[in-house]
Amino acid sequence: MDLIFLGTGGSVPTPLRNASATALRRGGEVVLFDCGEGTQRQLMMSSASFMKIKHIFITHLHGDHFLGLPGLIQSMNFSGREDGLCVHGPEGMIDTLGRALSLGFFAMNFEVLAQDLGDGDEVQCDGYSVQAVSALHTVPALSYVLTEHLRPGRFMPEKAKALGVQEGPGFAALQRGEVLMVDGREVRPEEVMGPPRPGMKVAFSGDTGLNPRFASAAQDCDAMVHEATVLSDLVEKAMEYGHSSAAMAAECAAQAKARLLFLNHISGRYADAAPLREEAEVIFRPVHVPNDLDEYSLSPQPSSE
């Protein structure tokens, strides 16, 4: 699983940071969280293909989080896309996307479905689910927690050999969940596989103040992507506008017992983001402050087996 930071800036694009967009790549699919203006170009400069996006989750309907949708969808259309696309967001998403796609003169060649989500709603996808959690912002807004379905248990080759299974196709068949006949008896996958293992969990805050409900939903996540618009000397202004300081983001990660914290939605007032990382590290470690187009590979937690 890879996190690809397409836009890490807050409110407006700057020469250093584009508007909000983060891609999560798992296998052959890309899941997009927010789609600020210019996201399609950021995707073209990244290793993620926009044609592999099946689901887009918009946190809220401030322009820096969704204005890239019309252009991205038109580019998909121009590139010959035929597969459908699902766009999920807070109250107003259906109406907003409908109006956005009515702009200009072009004919859609694939289906785009929009969905309004509320607090606690869960979207079931292929191999994972995404839960929506109400965010603390100035307009209807959501945070999201993506949780992979259970992964198969570890394959135990010595057990398979003891049951007469030869290395090669037999091992592969058992790992696919198939039953083998060996010397006149069945060898079932559960005889040679460990217990199912939890999938990975990644949390995306969107724009929000410090939210205990998000921390609870994100509990024990492998990675948290949390907005950190400003340093704590501007915390009162941040809270007035429904944003977090770097320290608040770190406190949320600590409450959630996250493995990793990524800070984004960085105000354009900070040409150097090091002070934001340093402020967060007083409360939580490890902390990363990605630049646009930075990529991070995420690995499952080691098994306790």
Closest CA relative to residue 206, chosen from 264, 269, 290: 264
CB 4 within 8 A of CB 35: no
pLDDT of res. 156: 87
CA distances in angstroms from 195 to 43, 158, 187, 281, 304, listed in the order given: 38, 16, 17, 36, 11
Tell me the whole-structure pTM to 2 decimals. 0.89
Closest CA relative to residue 203, chosen from 190, 217, 184, 193: 217
CA distances in angstroms from 224 to 13, 153, 271, listed in the order given: 23, 25, 23
Q: Could you list the mean pLDDT of each consecutive 10-residue stretch along the chain, which spans 305 residues? A: 97 94 96 97 97 98 96 96 97 95 88 97 97 98 96 85 90 89 89 87 98 98 98 95 97 98 97 97 98 96 60
CB 110 within 8 A of CB 84: yes
**Which CATH superfamily includes the segment(s) 2-150+198-296?**
Ribonuclease Z/Hydroxyacylglutathione hydrolase-like (3.60.15.10)
CB 101 within 8 A of CB 73: yes
Question: What is the 3-state secondary structure of the chain?
Answer: CEEEEEECECCCCCCCCCCCEEEEEECCEEEEECCCCCHHHHHHHCCCCHHHEEEEECCECCHHHHCCHHHHHHHHHHCCCCCCEEEEECCCHHHHHHHHCCCCCCCCCCCEEEEECCCCCEEEECCEEEEEEECCCCCCEEEEEEEECCECCCECHHHHHHCCCCCCHHHHHHHCCCCEEECCEEECHHHCECCCECCCEEEECCCCCCCHHHHHHCCCCCEEEEECCECHHHHHHHHHCCCCEHHHHHHHHHHHCCCCEEEECECCCCCCCHHHHHHHHCCCCCEECCCCCCEEECCCCCCCC
- The C-alpha atoms of residue 163 and residue 150 are separated, in whole angstroms, by 26
pLDDT of res. 177: 86
- The C-alpha atoms of residue 96 and residue 66 are separated, in whole angstroms, by 10
Q: Which is the catalytic residue, given 64, 207, 222, 292?
A: 64
| Cβ-based neighbour number of residue 230 at 10 Å | 25
* Domains of the chain, residue spans: 2-150+198-296, 157-191
CB 224 within 8 A of CB 203: yes
64 is a catalytic site residue: yes
pLDDT of res. 302: 67
Block residue for tokens 């306790």: 304
Which tokens is 223 given? 């990675």
pLDDT of res. 23: 98
